[in-house]
Chain A
Amino acid sequence: MKPSVTRWLADYGMIFVLLLLCAFFSVVTYSEQSPTGEAAAKQVGAAIGEQFGKTARVLIAASDQPDDAAFAAKLERDLASAGATIHAVVKGQPKDAREALQKIAASGGKLDAIACTQVTGAWLVFSDLKTDFPALGEPRVLTPRSYRWPNFLKSENLLNIANQIAVIAIVAIGMTMVIITGGIDLSVGSLLALSAVLTAKFIRDFAGGAEASAFGMFLACAAAVVLCGFIGGFSGAMITRFGIPPFIVTLAMMLVGSGCAYILAKGQSIYQIPDSFVWLGRGADLLRMPNAVVLMLVLYGLAHVLMSRMKLGRYLYAVGGNREAARLSGVPVQRVLLFAYIASALLAGLGGVIMASQLKSGSATYGNMYELYVIAAVVVGGTSLSGGEGKMFGTLTGAFTIAVIQNGMNLTNVESYTQKVVLGLVILGAVLLDKIRQR
């Protein structure tokens, strides 16, 4: 193998572990799928058009579930625009369907097709139409065709995974930088909570609460993130100016940050926030991708460029690889370290804003234990805790590995306590695998 290929494998070997996990969960969750909602409507509508042409006479049967309502609405629109005659749209119980059929029969109408969802297609009322309603002609019951596909690989599920890990993955960008310099930042979970509380509080107290404008909300978020940045700057200054180990400084700031969050929120959750605030956390504007995921990908792209192509990135690696050699080569070691801690705090603050947006509230309980998940993501991603080595996309892979394991266990109904045990072992296993591969 060419040296560049081996090097790439060494850098991104975790990707194979991730793919392996995905394959595993795909096999395990492989099961019968039936289209629902609009997808089902499209399929059934096409089948009707094919079999009966433009003159089709149709009854649409849907249950009172939201998915079925979407099915009925979409199908009604499609068929109407195709020129078919819709005799009735049933939304509800089998007895509603019986009434509708009786009414059509009484008025002398004929039916070609009864468009059903997976659920309504099994209603008894449709099982023997020839004897029950001979007046209707010979209507055929059409249901969406089922197919086999892994639950894990459904696009909703994959986007769900990405959306759930977005916060941790974004915070992990800063953590990767800090760990590459040979440090650690334990305060990110607390800063995340503090930022969520600050954002919610600023919106409630200064931006007009539930009537806040978009600009007001933006300012509130920016202020919260910047305040977190100041705390990161303080940690960085303690570490560089006074030489206190990062572990101690950020441990202290973890307590301080969490305490401040509780004090500011008065121990409660702040929810006086406009509905539009969830845009960042729950909205999906670009190619159905959640906005938080888009933001995460953009940040990873930028961070990758910073670390691999920019002077500052080179300095971050050098400071972690050999601090003295870096200093004697004229690297502004203190400023580089300061940058890492500020970046980590800013990104933790941003994570808090996203979380507040996802949950439409701010509470000091957010981000509990997140520092450990974030560190796990970084380490699983192949970054060495002794500094000087690591890759941004490795961290992204690590974050996704953790998310996939959690999601996969949810899909396969593994109990949450068991999940913790498995997750712990998988983290250990992933790092072990990495070590063995490097030998």
Chain B
Amino acid sequence: MTTTPPLLEMRGIVKSFPGVQALRGVDLSLCAGEVLALLGENGAGKSTLIKVLGGAHRADAGVLAIDGRETPFDSPQDSRRAGVAVIYQEFNLVPGLTAVENIFLGQEVTRAGFVARRQERARAAALFQRLGVEIDLDAPCRRLTTAQQQLVEIAKALAFEARIIVMDEPSAALTAHEVARLFEIIRELKRQGIGIIYISHRLEEVFAIADRVTVLRDGRNVGERPIQRITRNEMIELMVGRELKDEFPARSVTPGAVRLEVRGLRRGRAVRDVSFTVRRGEILALTGLVGAGRTETVRLIFGADAREAGDVLVDGRVVAIRSPQNAIAAGIGLLTEDRKLQGLVLGHSVRENFGLPNLDWLSRRGFVQLGTEREEFGRYVERLKIKVPDQEQRAGNLSGGNQQKVVLAKWLARNCDVLIFDEPTRGIDVGAKYEIYLLLNELAAAGKAVVMISSELPEVLGMADRILVLHEGRVTGEIADARRATQEQIMQLAVA
């Protein structure tokens, strides 16, 4: 043992929000050139912990030390000054600014008060070279893919010489290929002596990249081990606090008549010609690389975007869908990929969020039946085990998994015939994932047509009856018997 203090040390961090005690005294340490995996179920306190580290939240109690020296972390500026860069799941990029402008936002290179644009550009190019990637430096960030935006975030961290980089679910929106690329970059950063805190729900990734694992549960440390001395099952047990059997629940289905049919959907370059059917009781997985047009396709079905051509049929009848309202009236529900931006009104209570798509049947002569609404929501809180102190809790105060459950509740209450799930388990812990899988099976068993978009191939293989692979806005393949498919088979079609 050396006496060198660790690069980062957090001791006894406590943080609470109205109605929620998120952290109850968490310790964490990180050495230079080390990758520490931070694990835990949703609501375990990971996000809060890194927000404290990033200066976004101020801890109620506890100490943070860099190189053994106590350092204040009262604001994002403090955190940056201490050499900490946090790459949140929702990126902190200004969509209208270019990669270069984003990288130097708040740390512009200036000469006599003017931004030295050429110099900035050269430095940004050098940073991307160091990462071994190429990116259009002049395109506004909103035009970059998720993977590219992530690289911009990493470059931004390197630009101010961060010594600690925190990555919150960096692989969630990436395809297998892009994840491999990310790992190469992480290994390079390690070699350069940067300490990395890596948060992920994908345990195979943790084994591939981490040196050490720290597990949180209910705002407390429940275990910390070197990666060599922990097994996958031990990790899961530490996270959920109980033993877990199978990752995917078994089920038997006999799909019935065609419930949803889509013919020749088309919109710009994203969706060029998509047709498929889903039967009652069937789970259809839409998969492919990010940008293949999966989300775009389901948004067209749901009327969220206007389609240029194509028909949507429910139970054999063409339904005119020009807005989400029409789709909902036709019995179609869409659980969007991005809960915070599209699924929830974060400032409003969970009850109001639950009621939003259900107000037509929850109200009489224009008046909302508050009693019925509370009762209905109460039933779903119990059924989906949503952890909320009370129904008036702001949706924004919940953890990711609980937010997803609220979104689930609001759509389940509508009793749609066709349910479309866009990345339903993204950013969700193992325990909650299993609950969602059970729910998907339950819905299928009740005769609904279920469409699931997922980038996680094991999930696609484990859950779907049939798999549809998209590439550049077209269906490039269909695997009729998902149980016998392999990941390689899907990847072949996805990159076709």
Partners in one complex: yes
In the complex, whether B363 has a CB less than 8 A from a CB of chain A is yes
Q: How far is the CA of A232 from the CA of B346 in the complex (A)?
A: 30
Q: Which of B316-374 contact A (CB under 8 A)?
A: 323-325, 327-329, 334, 336, 341-348, 352, 355-357, 359-360, 363, 366-368, 370
Residue in B328, B341, B356, B370 whose CB lies within 8 Å of A318: B356
B343 contact set on A, CB distance < 8 A: 325, 328
In the complex, whether A388 has a CB less than 8 A from a CB of chain B is yes
Q: Which of A381-418 contact B (CB under 8 A)?
A: 388-389
Stretch in A76-84, A220-228, A237-245, A304-312 touching the partner: A304-312
In the complex, whether B410 has a CB less than 8 A from a CB of chain A is yes
B328 contact set on A, CB distance < 8 A: 329-330
A328 contact set on B, CB distance < 8 A: 302, 304, 324, 334, 336, 342-343
A329 contact set on B, CB distance < 8 A: 324, 328, 356-357, 410
B136 contact set on A, CB distance < 8 A: none
In the complex, whether B390 has a CB less than 8 A from a CB of chain A is yes
Q: How far is the CA of A152 from the CA of B343 in the complex (A)?
A: 51
B234 contact set on A, CB distance < 8 A: none
**Contact in complex: B325, A332 (CB < 8 Å):** yes
Q: Which of A310, A311, A324, A327 has the most CB atoms of chain B within a 10 A radius of its CB? A: A311
Known interface pairs A330-B324, A330-B328; A322-B368 also in contact (CB < 8 Å):
no
**Contact in complex: A318, B368 (CB < 8 Å):** no
Known interface pairs A3-B392, A310-B368; A325-B345 also in contact (CB < 8 Å):
yes
Q: Which residue on A lies nearest to B326, using beta carbons?
A: A330
Residue in B327, B345, B363, B370 whose CB lies within 8 Å of A326: B345
A330 contact set on B, CB distance < 8 A: 324-325, 327-329, 356-357
In the complex, what's the smallest C-beta–C-beta distance from B21 to chain A, in angstroms?
15
In the complex, whether B19 has a CB less than 8 A from a CB of chain A is yes
**Contact in complex: A318, B348 (CB < 8 Å):** yes
Known interface pairs A3-B392, A309-B368, A321-B348; A314-B302 also in contact (CB < 8 Å):
no
**Contact in complex: A311, B368 (CB < 8 Å):** yes
**Contact in complex: B355, A314 (CB < 8 Å):** yes
A332 contact set on B, CB distance < 8 A: 323, 325
Q: How far is the CA of A311 from the CA of B336 in the complex (A)?
A: 23
**Contact in complex: A388, B348 (CB < 8 Å):** yes
Q: Which of A7, A311, A325, A332 has the most CB atoms of chain B within a 10 A radius of its CB? A: A325
Q: How far is the CA of A269 from the CA of B352 in the complex (A)?
A: 49
**Contact in complex: B352, A317 (CB < 8 Å):** yes
In the complex, whether A69 has a CB less than 8 A from a CB of chain B is no
Q: How far is the CA of A310 from the CA of B348 in the complex (A)?
A: 16
In the complex, whether A331 has a CB less than 8 A from a CB of chain B is yes
Q: Which of A279-323 contact B (CB under 8 A)?
A: 309-312, 314-315, 317-318, 321-322
B344 contact set on A, CB distance < 8 A: 322, 325
B367 contact set on A, CB distance < 8 A: 309-311
Number of A-B contacts (CB under 8 A): 81
Q: Which residue on B lies nearest to A321, using beta carbons?
A: B345
**Contact in complex: A324, B356 (CB < 8 Å):** no
Residue in A3, A317, A325, A389 whose CB lies within 8 Å of B390: A3
In the complex, what's the smallest C-beta–C-beta distance from A313 to chain B, in angstroms?
8
Q: How far is the CA of A388 from the CA of B356 in the complex (A)?
A: 14
In the complex, what's the smallest C-beta–C-beta distance from B493 to chain A, in angstroms?
29
Q: How far is the CA of A388 from the CA of B334 in the complex (A)?
A: 23
> Interface size for chain A: under 10, 10 to 19, 20 to 34, or 35 or more residues?
20 to 34
B19 contact set on A, CB distance < 8 A: 3
**Contact in complex: A314, B356 (CB < 8 Å):** yes
Q: Which residue on B lies nearest to A6, using beta carbons?
A: B18
Q: How far is the CA of A318 from the CA of B327 in the complex (A)?
A: 19
In the complex, what's the smallest C-beta–C-beta distance from A340 to chain B, in angstroms?
16
**Contact in complex: A321, B342 (CB < 8 Å):** no
Q: Which of A7, A317, A330, A388 has the most CB atoms of chain B within a 10 A radius of its CB? A: A330
- Proximity bits, B2-26, A CB within 8 Å = 1, else 0: 0000000000000000010000000
In the complex, what's the smallest C-beta–C-beta distance from B155 to chain A, in angstroms?
29
A3 contact set on B, CB distance < 8 A: 19, 390, 392
Q: Which of B282-305 contact A (CB under 8 A)?
A: 302, 304
Residue in B347, B366, B392 whose CB lies within 8 Å of A311: B366
In the complex, what's the smallest C-beta–C-beta distance from A325 to chain B, in angstroms?
5
A325 contact set on B, CB distance < 8 A: 341-345, 356
A7 contact set on B, CB distance < 8 A: 392
A331 contact set on B, CB distance < 8 A: 325, 356
Residue in B336, B363, B390 whose CB lies within 8 Å of A310: B363
Q: Which residue on A lies nearest to B364, using beta carbons?
A: A311
Q: Which residue on B lies nearest to A322, using beta carbons?
A: B345
Q: How far is the CA of A3 from the CA of B355 in the complex (A)?
A: 21
B327 contact set on A, CB distance < 8 A: 330
**Contact in complex: A314, B390 (CB < 8 Å):** no
Q: Which residue on A lies nearest to B334, using beta carbons?
A: A328
A324 contact set on B, CB distance < 8 A: 341-342
**Contact in complex: A321, B363 (CB < 8 Å):** no
In the complex, what's the smallest C-beta–C-beta distance from B429 to chain A, in angstroms?
23
Known interface pairs A310-B367, A314-B368, A318-B348; A326-B356 also in contact (CB < 8 Å):
yes
In the complex, what's the smallest C-beta–C-beta distance from A7 to chain B, in angstroms?
7
Q: Which residue on A lies nearest to B410, using beta carbons?
A: A329
A312 contact set on B, CB distance < 8 A: 366
Q: Which of B82-103 contact A (CB under 8 A)?
A: none
Q: How far is the CA of A317 from the CA of B366 in the complex (A)?
A: 15
B342 contact set on A, CB distance < 8 A: 322, 324-325, 328
A322 contact set on B, CB distance < 8 A: 341-342, 344-347
Known interface pairs A328-B304, A388-B348; A311-B359 also in contact (CB < 8 Å):
yes
A321 contact set on B, CB distance < 8 A: 345-348
Q: Which residue on A lies nearest to B343, using beta carbons?
A: A325
In the complex, what's the smallest C-beta–C-beta distance from B338 to chain A, in angstroms?
9
Q: Which of A7, A321, A322, A324 has the most CB atoms of chain B within a 10 A radius of its CB? A: A322
B304 contact set on A, CB distance < 8 A: 327-328
**Contact in complex: A388, B336 (CB < 8 Å):** no
In the complex, what's the smallest C-beta–C-beta distance from B305 to chain A, in angstroms?
11
B368 contact set on A, CB distance < 8 A: 309-311, 314
In the complex, what's the smallest C-beta–C-beta distance from B15 to chain A, in angstroms?
15
A318 contact set on B, CB distance < 8 A: 345, 348, 352, 356
Q: How far is the CA of A411 from the CA of B350 in the complex (A)?
A: 48
In the complex, what's the smallest C-beta–C-beta distance from B207 to chain A, in angstroms?
37
Q: How far is the CA of A389 from the CA of B396 in the complex (A)?
A: 14
Q: Which 10 A-B pairs have the closest CB atoms?
A: A321-B345, A330-B328, A329-B357, A322-B345, A329-B356, A311-B363, A311-B359, A330-B325, A310-B366, A330-B357
**A and B contact pairs by CB, cutoff 8 A, 11 listed:** A3-B390, A309-B370, A311-B367, A314-B352, A321-B347, A325-B341, A327-B324, A328-B324, A330-B325, A330-B357, A332-B323
B: residues with CB less than 8 A from A are 19, 302, 304, 323-325, 327-329, 334, 336, 341-348, 352, 355-357, 359-360, 363, 366-368, 370, 390, 392, 410
A: residues with CB less than 8 A from B are 3, 7, 309-312, 314-315, 317-318, 321-322, 324-332, 388-389
- In addition to A322-B342, A329-B357, A330-B356, 14 A-B residue pairs with Cβ atoms within 8 Å of each other are A311-B363, A311-B366, A314-B355, A318-B345, A318-B356, A322-B346, A322-B347, A326-B345, A326-B356, A327-B324, A328-B304, A328-B336, A331-B356, A388-B347
